[in-house]
Amino acid sequence: MEPYPSALPSAQASSPDDLQQALRDSELHRALSLEGGALGTYEFFPELGRMNWSDRTKALFGLPPEAEITLAEFRAAIHPDDLPRALANLEAAQDPAGNGILEQEYRVRSASDGSTRWLRSKGKYFPAQPGQAARFAGVVQDITSWKESEYWLTEGQQRLQAALTASGTGTFRWNIQTNGLSWDENLDRLFGLPPGQTVRSLDSFIECVHPDDRAAVIECCCQCADSAADFDLQFRVVWPDGTIRWLDDKGKTYLDADGRPAYMTGACVDITARRQAEEALRASEARLRMLTEALPQLSWMRDATSHKLEYASNRWQEYSGIEDADLAWASMVHPDDKERAMQVWQESMASATDFREQVRLRNRDGEYRWHLSIAQPVRDGAGQVTKWTGTLLDIHEQKSFEETLERIVGERTRQLQQSNDDLQQFAHVASHDLKEPLRKARLFLGCYRDEARSSISPAGETFLNKVEGALDRMHAMVEGVLAYSLLHGQEFSPEPVNLADLLQEIAVDLEVPIHEKDATLHYQDLPLLKGSRVLLYQLFYNLLKNALKFTRAGVPPVLTLTAPASSGDLIIEVRDNGIGFAPDQAKRIFEPFTRLHSKDQFEGTGLGLALCQKIMERHGGSIRAEGREGEGAVFFLAFPFY
């Protein structure tokens, strides 16, 4: 069997009619070529500065059909970054030593709306002849979409870029009655042939087609020859070097005067990159589907416009026993969860934000199990939501554990609260009971001192002073323990506190040690604080009293309070020039009953800074310290903004 119809009329000798027909064919061939490639034509007479553009060319430049084109308008339309190169190429093409071919790409700014698009221009320079001025003639093509594709495509970018750069619309003409075939150089390139090695017959064309696609191509050619059908087929071609390319071939069949199929003209484009992308997408979808089916979650995908369910994993049927996932969802959700879940889902769809909710789903055995339902919107290049994808993960064991843990934590919290209440009550009672014997001891010690003042020896006086000092320290210790233990239970409503006024009151209360040590207190531009005035007073009183206590001999104390600018919490710095402390003790000094020095050197209970830390915690803030031995210390108080 022959690969194409053999009983076709032989070619006729040339005649005026044939010439006219050939001319019409040529014009049609040219029109199809220009139309298929979306090409505009131009002529440019450099010596005259005049240009003749087709309507399509004017449209590509955003100009109306009636516009008159000059070199100045052409220069104004070219993007400033591309204009020097475009003019240089025009000059180079006019060099007698060259071939006169002009091929370049540049951007133009539309005269109608100011938009920018990419054009590819290809033409030839024809030197002046007797009676004819020198001119350029060629075509231009809009390649904006190709340029945009270069930006977005990543995988196979070089291959796709080469295909786009090398691609163009190839045109052909097949004389059905003689099987003669002709095509332009673009098709040579699409078939991997050197320019000028044009295929001249249908047999030669068929030989270039991939063996697996030849039968379909031959069948389509036979239909065109038998019934004047149009040619519309995608097939592979094998280049001489073994390369395989995909082509999209479209042709239209024309009849002769007797109504018989006479010839076909058409266009062909390279679609290799698109086919590869489609195959890659299909492979990717297959891998994704396989992965989705392998996961334990119930997965789904739904159209954002029609809300039609496009995909549901097999896990739906396995879990629910219901084949239709839409019906399964409606019947699986626990009645107590359905209204809440639907409300959150409607809000997510309205705001195009992620959906996340916990629901109970009934399985095929009638058991309700907790699932975490997550859905996300899928957007197109314009940012519009086109689909929703989601999964439901079984979290029943985790939920049961959380409920058990929450119950245990609640019980432990109640026990701890009761323990704290008992401890506070004990601390209050104990401190109260300890105060009474201390008061009596101090009273009787005073009575003894008054009674036996004249008979007390110097050594006895020393002993009495030590006893009196020990009683004072014990009293301070009891007061400190009571304040520390009761602080956690104190409730307060935050109120504005003027820190400057508070410091003035503290300075009055500390007037004696300030005077005795010749201390200086500096502060200015301090902010308002929000909190308990009583607790804040105790906080800054303890810090300043601490600074007045741990001073260096012979060095007047300088206490400075500042509020440096901060992008986060409100920071108050309390700085002194006292004895300081080692950097590795910065955290330890806030522990209750911690003393870095013996009581013989510096008096105190070791509770002052621990109490300061508790006060800061009660205000939702924090306190830390930095120090250097012999250089002083600085305390950083971080208050939250209300």
Report residue 9's pLDDT band, with 50, 70 and 90 as the boundaries: very low
Q: With 80 as the cut, is the pLDDT of residue 11 above it?
A: no
Going by pLDDT thresholds of 50, 70 and 90, the confidence category of residue 636 is very high
Task: Report pLDDT digits (tens) over 300-310.
Answer: 788 888 888 88
Q: Counting every residue, how long is the chain? A: 642
Packing angle of the helix pair 396-451, 458-487 (nearest 10 deg): 150
Q: Would you list the domain boundaries of the chain?
A: 24-146, 168-276, 492-639
Q: Mean of the per-residue pLDDT values for the chain?
A: 80
Concatenating the DSSP letter of every residue in 285-308 gives HHHHHHHHHHSSSEEEEEETTT--
Written as one string, the DSSP assignment of 44-64 is EETTTTEEEE-HHHHHHTT--
For the ranges 94-108, 282-296, 575-589, the lowest mean pLDDT is seen at 282-296
Tokens of 230: 């149009």
Question: Distances in Å between the alpha carbon of 476 and those of 28, 125, 473, 479, 483?
Answer: 111, 106, 5, 5, 11
Report the distance separating Cα 130 and Cα 140, nearest Å. Answer: 28
Contacts 24+ apart (CB under 8 A), 128-131: 128/47
CATH number of 492-639: 3.30.565.10
Q: Tokens standing for 330? A: 């409606």
Q: What's the CATH architecture for 168-276?
A: 2-Layer Sandwich (3.30)
Report d(CA 59, CA 345) in Å as an integer: 48
- Strands 520-523 and 261-270 turn out to be unpaired
Q: Is residue 98 a contact partner of residue 104, using CB atoms and an 8 Å limit?
A: no
Position 55 scores a pLDDT of 87
Q: What is the pLDDT of residue 8?
A: 35
| Degrees to nearest 5, angle at CA 641 with 638 and 642 | 135
Pairwise CA distance, residues 538 & 516, whole Å: 22
pLDDT of residue 433: 64
Q: Are 615 and 538 in contact (CB under 8 A)?
A: yes
**pLDDT tens digits, one per residue of 495-552:** 898 999 989 988 888 888 899 899 999 998 898 998 888 788 888 988 998 899 888 8
The confidence band for 431, taking pLDDT boundaries of 50, 70 and 90, is low
Q: Note the pLDDT of residue 113.
A: 81
176-187: average pLDDT: 82
Residue 146 has pLDDT above 60, yes or no: yes
Does the structure show a pLDDT above 70 at 37? no
- pLDDT for 132 equals 87
360, 371 contact by CB (below 8 A): yes
pLDDT score for 169: 72
24-146 against 492-639: fold identical: no
Q: Does the structural domain 24-146 have CATH classification 3.30.450.20?
A: yes
* Per-residue confidence band for 157, with pLDDT thresholds at 50, 70 and 90: very low
pLDDT at res. 561:
95
Residue 339 has pLDDT above 50, yes or no: yes
Q: What is the pLDDT of residues 593-608, one digit of tens each?
A: 555 554 544 555 567 7
